[in-house]
Structure 1
């Protein structure tokens, strides 16, 4: 069954991926807000026995650098504020850029070490593109299905749910397109784009699981 919540699997994520996977596998999941993309990522991580990285990525980074993870999370997947930052000779002093680059570097180091994992967002389809083990997925959905899911998940009215979707996707698009050449959600930048409304979440996971297994054989 699809997990309903977000399990806390921070405990030694790198070791978990190393033990459970014989061959390297990296799954990146980009998603529209309300599409169920995060739930799909959780289910794929469970089925393949892999650690899942999302916001907890900053906990791993913070532990290694001996800083407070919560202080980093407020800058997670945020575009820098031009009024309070500047770029000199290609180097930015913004915390948003600093946090983003720490995550990109962490993921690339994991990939270089041959680790297997699932990552949600964080421009992973672009930042990890050179690694043959990567399978990049983008999950979208029909408008009304997404609205209904957001209404139920956050206990919102329809209008409030639509506003939350619009704002969240705007931030994701802005963040992604600032850090990547390819456009957020453009199917040409992913191995596979899928509308979760067509099959529902459970069957979408089944479909993606089969696709990933075929990719592993190739």
Structure 2
């Protein structure tokens, strides 16, 4: 097995947990927050800014402008600068060998660079996602949870569209699109592992 696996996911669909288990079963590295740490180290940006940039474009831009003089930077905003650094890090991680990379347009970054990867999108219905988000956040407020899910997904869609020119979640962009609510996490993990093992 010599493949990189990228996982894009709806908020609350369990993509992080599924990706981590896939990596463990295949005995390869799993990269998520490691990319944030590497980006902070390489760019000098605060990790909090990097995480904000991945979830809330407008807020990140205002933080960036408050700490940087526009005249002193080549970049229009923090998102462009951070995306460029993350792109370089993702390509370096892929060069080091098989791994699982979560989010951050890794599928398109690798495709553009001519690096083979198995690209997966994890989704689920609102009920399954809401239960998981409630567990993650501790919130029992259904309206709050729905708003949070919509906001996170909208941010991911906007980010993906901005840097790939493609529609986030469109099945044409992925090799596997899996409904974790209907299939369950274990079967999703099994299908991704089998796809990775079969791909040569």
TM-score range with shorter-chain normalisation?
0.7 to 0.9
Q: Which has the higher contact order (CA 8 A, sep 6+)?
A: 2
Distance 2:144 2:55 in 1: 22
Asked if the contact 1:79/1:97 (under 8 Å) is kept, the reply is: no
Quick check: which one's helix share is greater?
2
Aligned to 1:182: 166
Is 1:35 the equivalent of 2:13?
yes
Secondary structure class of the residue paired with 1:75: helix
Asked if the contact 2:54/2:156 (under 8 Å) is kept, the reply is: no
Per the normalisation by structure 2, the TM-score is 0.83
Is 1:109 the equivalent of 2:92?
yes
Aligned to 1:17: none
Where does the alignment leave 5 or more consecutive residues of structure 1 unmatched?
A: 1-22
Superposed CA deviations along residues 122-151 of structure 1, whole A, max 9, x for unmatched, are 001111114453110000101211111111
Asked if the contact 2:54/2:159 (under 8 Å) is kept, the reply is: no
Question: Given the alignment, which residue of 56, 73, 79 partners 2:57?
Answer: 79
Aligned to 1:93: 76
Superposed CA deviations along residues 93-123 of structure 1, whole A, max 9, x for unmatched, are 3111101110012112333x34222111100
Distance 1:24 1:77 in 2: 31
Asked if the contact 2:110/2:116 (under 8 Å) is kept, the reply is: no
Distance 1:67 1:186 in 2: 32
Matches within 5 A, 1:48-87: 48-64=26-42, 68-76=46-54, 78-79=56-57
Where does the alignment leave 5 or more consecutive residues of structure 2 unmatched?
A: none
Asked if the contact 2:8/2:15 (under 8 Å) is kept, the reply is: yes
Distance 1:194 1:97, change over 3 A: same
Distance 1:141 1:73 in 2: 24
Matches within 5 A, 1:1-218: 24-64=2-42, 68-76=46-54, 78-79=56-57, 92-111=75-94, 113-129=95-111, 130-156=113-139, 157-216=141-200
Per-residue deviation at 1:26?
0.8
Aligned residues: 190
Per the normalisation by structure 1, the TM-score is 0.77
CA RMSD for the aligned pairs?
2.6
